[in-house]
Structure formats: structure tokens, C-alpha cells
Amino acid sequence: MQRTVSVVAPLCFRLQAQPLVQSRQLSCVQPGCPQDVLRRTPLYDFHLAHGGKMVAFAGWSLPVQYRDSHVDSHLHTRRHCSLFDVSHMLQTKIFGHDRVKLMESIVVGDIAELKPNQGILSLFTNEAGGILDDLIVTNTSEGHLYVVSNAGCWDKDLALMQDKVKEFQNKGSDVGLEVVDNALLALQGPTAAQVLQAGVTDDLRKMPFMTSAVMEVFGVSGCRVTRCGYTGEDGVEISVPAIAAVHLATALLKNPEVKLAGLAARDSLRLEAGLCLYGNDIDEHTTPVEGSLSWTLGKRRRTAMDFPGAKIIVPQLKGEVQKRRVGLVCEGAPVRAHSPILSTEGTVIGAVTSGCPSPSLKKNVAMGYVPFKYSRPGTQLLVEVRRKQQMTVVSKMPFVPTNYYTLK
């Protein structure tokens, strides 16, 4: 989408979002809207009232930041907790007796092994082994699979799942699909559980990372709370009826620990945590092994080789791949997506896919793809920024240690 820039986003986010003039005329909220009309979340007016600087992202109008600077917002999330509106994500339910079989026909993970209310990060793949999207699948105790996938892949993901449902139904299988028309709020940071506990009766100490439960949250019934997020910190994502989204956000903000945060902080936080942004760091031309996401491949699924692209992906686990996603810690000017990566001899060997200054480390960090022989941590390389070469070193990820909550 090409739009005139009128709000300057923080540097680390300029490649992920396209700023636009704030306008209350952008009212379309459904998939399939015209290209020049942005969808709104139920919190759109709430964001404007709180000083949100709205940008275009994946067809939605979302806040890139609020009154606090991007760096202050980022560091507040690391030290306290922040509230993010992620209602643009696609939420779906897959139900029916054959729901697990259906899901395993399009993802690489072992869905059958999930315990009630347990979830995993998985991948949609194609027959060439490429990644169509990353998603979270939760096996709910209510008898359906709860799926959350990326807004940028909304139409593609929904079509994939709907087509597969029709295929299974035509064969007599018991499956169905429902789009969940809820808002989705992410409360992220080391004090997130403490803040949320004040508004729920469930004991959050019994909910480890990647588990989920339906509960009443600050007086709003029917909320699905999942212990997950995309910042590397402890936190939750709350699927809340759209009509109650503003009430819940307002209730959470009453705690001084909580501040609103936007896309800019979300981007730098996920990069510090070594997490991929679909369309930048992984795409249909990247396999899970090349993307350093082999851990998403279920052991049973590897043996059975019964997921899309298995004939390409599984052999890569035992051999060298042509390229691999690596972390980079860089000297000099901040590194941006598309910056060339060079060997120390000056030969271009790859490209940066995400990069920004790390507010936590006060260093420049990035991700990119290099040939396998250059992927070992500690390998010295060069990156080209504004036609100047500067030193970089391959680094293990995450750059900042993750703080996911596990039962002791």
C-alpha cells in the first residue's frame, strides 16, 4: 500500500509500517476492503484519545507509539508491563471430531499431543517447504482448536483453512471453522501477571507459558487468557468480546505499572527476543530449517513426514542448508532490512531482514540470512550501511534473555 507519509515512525519500525494522516473516515473493518481503506480495531478511538500516533500496518490503522518515546516504551515493557492492541490478528476456531487431523494436514506441529488448554507455535507450510505463516494453536478444553495467525496473512490463512475444511467435509469428516470476532489485548512484561491477578479469580501461578483458560477478567466474562506474547517477557494475550475491549483496557491502565505501547516497541522487543516477523524474516521462500525454526517440527511429524513440504524440509534437518537465519550484533550505524551482508573479503553473501538499535543492550542488533558455513556464532562478517562497510559478528539469539513463566 503506497501512502503519503505524515507521521514519522521510529527508525526501527520504518520498514514495517507506513504512516498516514489520522482520519476518522477510515471505517472499514472487514477483510476484502478496498486497498485504500484501513480496517480499525475496537480500540481505534481509544488510541486516539490516549495520544496514539496511527500508522497503516497490514491493512489496519494501528498505533506505532503514544506520548512516550519508543525507547521509553520499550524499556517500560522490560521493567514493568505494557498493553498492546493486537486485535488485528486473525482468530479462528476449528471444531469437530476431526479437527486435529485437519490442523495437522496444514501445519508442522504435533497438535495431537497437546494437553487440554495447551498451545504451541507452529507453521503453515507449502509443498515446496516454504513458510506460509506462523501461528499459535491451542487445544482448548471446550472442544475446539483456537488459532491465532498474522493479520498480514489474514486472507491467505483464512482461505487455506476454509479450503481444507471443505475438502475434509467433502470426504465426510466432521470439521468446521469459525472466525472469532473478538478484540485481542497483549499485556507484556515482568509485572503483567501481578497486574492481571487483581482482576481474575483464577490462580495465574498455575498457568505456565503457552497455556490458556477462559475466565472473567475485570468483570468481563468469556475472556480467553493465554500465557504468551511476542516480546520475550512474561505476559498474556486476552481475547475479549469486542464490545468490552475499551472497558478492559481502561481497567488495566488504572494500575500505574501499565502503560500503552505500540508497534514500534513491539518490533524492537520481538527483535531483541530473536522472534521472526513474517514477511521480513520468514516467508514462502524460506523453510523452517533455513529460518532456524526446526524446533517447531514435531518429532512424530518428522518421522511420519505427513505435513506439507516434508519431503523438502525433513532431509534438511540432517544436511547443510544453503542459507540460515542468524543474529547479528553490529558496530557503527544502525542496520536496516535489505542491508547487504558481506564476508570479510568483501563478497556479498546475504542480506539483513530486520535490524534496529537495541534499547536494552545499547547495541545495534539484526537478523539476516547467510550461507551455512558463515552461520556459526562468533563468525566475523561485514554489513553495508549507506554504502559504507562496518563490522558485525554472528550472535546467538535471543539477544536479550527471555523471561517466560514456567512452573518451578
Residue numbers belonging to the annotated binding site:
237
If residue 41 lies in a helix (H) or strand (E), which one and from where to where? none
Residues at the annotated binding site for substrate?
A: 237
Asked whether the beta carbons of 102 and 115 are under 8 A apart, the reply is: no
Cell numbers 564476508 label which residue? 343
| Alpha carbons 172 and 381: distance in angstroms, whole number | 56
Q: What is the dihedral of CA 300, 398, 82, 147, to 10 degrees?
A: -20
The three cell numbers of residue 338 are 535489505
At 57, which amino acid appears?
A: F
What φ, ψ does residue 318 adopt, rounded to 5°? -105, -10
Distance of CA 54 to the CA centre of its chain: 19
The three cell numbers of residue 115 are 494437553
Q: At what angle do helices 70-79 and 263-272 cross, to 10 degrees?
A: 60
- Half-sphere exposure of residue 285, counting CA atoms within 13 Å on the CB side? 6
Q: What is the dihedral of CA 177, 183, 187, 188, to 10 degrees?
A: 60
